[in-house]
Structure 1
Amino acid sequence: MAIQLFQRLVQAVILLFVISIVGFALLRLLPGDFAEVLLLAQMDGTLPDPATVTQFAQDNGFNDPMPVQYWHWLTDALGGDLGQSFITGEAVSSDMALRISRSLFLGVTSLATALILAIPIGFFCATHTGGWIDRALTALSVVGMSIPNFWLALLMALFFSLFLDLLPSSGHGTLAHVVLPALVIATSVTGVIARFVRARLLDELSQDYVRTANAKGMGRLRILLSHVVPNILPSTLTLTGLQFAKIFDGMIVVETIFAWPGIGSLLVESLFNRDYPLIQMCFLVIASGYVVINLVVDYLITLIDPRVRGAI
């Protein structure tokens, strides 16, 4: 297992290396002169003269071949120097850790909320299939999966903040600020996990070993906890990991709408400002999040599933 984990770590490093190359190249292959675009952003749209553009490009190494530029950026990044913001002049890493921690807090809260709602719904629907409650909860799950995050965020902000005046619609600092963005993100994830748990439970409950356990007089709760749940746990964990990665997609929109100062809102701000060093860093952080989540899920599945351990 240690060898397989090491191999996956190596694969993750290679993947991040490729992602950094792609992100670096895409930013510099955008239409227009790279140095001129950066100067336009810094000068609030004032067109710089050619001499200023030339000097700016020379000072920042933009005249070097792209592989040379990437090598300089990579060696600096590995040394802990992630560059400076072209807009503020501050180090890119100055508040990156704080932004990441806020996004992680929002993401974990959203996932926990989704699991607290989805797993009981999935179990109840699977054990009471065909009833009106099952049909109603299944329909609600489909609706939750279908509603776009930005639309639901606006509706919830209007209802809970404007009409009821119960929760703040923007900012951070208290637990009340995390309620609305976490609920918005959790809504679609809840629907996906609930439907998956219901389908997997129904599939397992129709297996021969469940009928044998029933014939032996084993209680339904014991069958679920001792036999069915361990069998659906690896696949449910895999889906949960994928949904946690999907949460980062939703956070870019939700953080912007609710003014939550995380990595998603920072990416949007840097895109509007054309702050390419900051965009590059946000892009790499989000990609690293995907890779780390997949690594953690693979490792957990290896620990809890004897079939996977036996195949190693």
Structure 2
Amino acid sequence: MTLDELRPDEVLVRIVGAGMCHTDMLPRDPELGGDFGPIILGHEGSGVVEQVGSHVTGVQPGDHVLISYASCGTCWNCLRAQPAYCQEFELRNTSGRYADGSTGARGSDGRPIANRWFGQSSFADHAVATERNVVVVDPELPLELLGPLGCGLQTGAGAVLNEMRLSPGQSLAVFGAGAVGLAAVMAAKLAGASDIVVDDLHESRLDLALSLGATRVVLGTKDSVVDEVKGAGPGVDFSFETTAVTEVISAAVEVLDRPGTAVFVGAGMGQLSVSPHLLAGRKITYVLEGNAVPQVFLPRLISFWKQGRFPFDRLIQTYPLDDINAADADSRLGKTIKPVLLTGQLSNQERK
């Protein structure tokens, strides 16, 4: 494939590592795939800047960067520091194309190929991003492991710290102990939660959740999940739903105390099905990207990691890009929490 010339606000990044997220699997769904392909996926990239567009001032060749989601920078929400709710979010992220519907890559036959998946398409040796959706990081950091911070980990931790603004002593129930859910667990521990309950189908993931800060765990195969999560009390202050499974979405509402808030982030075909009376004193919201400003929030998460308070590296298993099918299979089986695909290596000079 051939990449077009950089636009004025763009940067060319040589990818070193790219996290593999559930959202990257959605375009393979036969009901959705025809709307996307041909497309380059991947949206948790990290790498080294090789070239910058003519209008780029804050990034330069040689910078180590994480790539996060794309936003326009000019709409009302972007201007008031809420880029996750950019008026063009779907166009710039989930279409795989530029906001005007065009692409920036072509196959050998000249056919357009979508290469703007979440503003990057990082399952490749090079990706084109914009100055707005890259975050420059210290070159001494393990760059190949940092990519998942740009989406999945940002989503989980941001939901707790930015959206819920969980206070010391409050409680949280997390449904789904994947990377997003476990990021929420680590963030809740950081915030001083008194009770962190995790529900999942895999006992190994529940064991990991306990080691990361969960105070209780519930096996999702039980019939009494709601009662088990609530325990002896009236319910939890917050719930966090990552699975997009209809029954689990409903459970995330039922476990709430009053007042209480359910935060959904799961991407899938599940539906919200809830009796209106269950909403008395309760709130429901769906959050994109942890309601985070990447240039502000990602350095904060890295700082927590350096302090030993956000050990996200414990979730990561690396694979060569050629082993992407094995990474997918291990993720589906619950063997790997967060696969990271390694697409290149840093030189000794780059690895400071």
Greater strand proportion: 2
Higher helix share: 1
Larger radius of gyration: 1
Q: TM-score, normalised to structure 2's length? A: 0.22
TM-score normalised according to structure 1 size: 0.24
Q: Which has the higher contact order (CA 8 A, sep 6+)?
A: 1
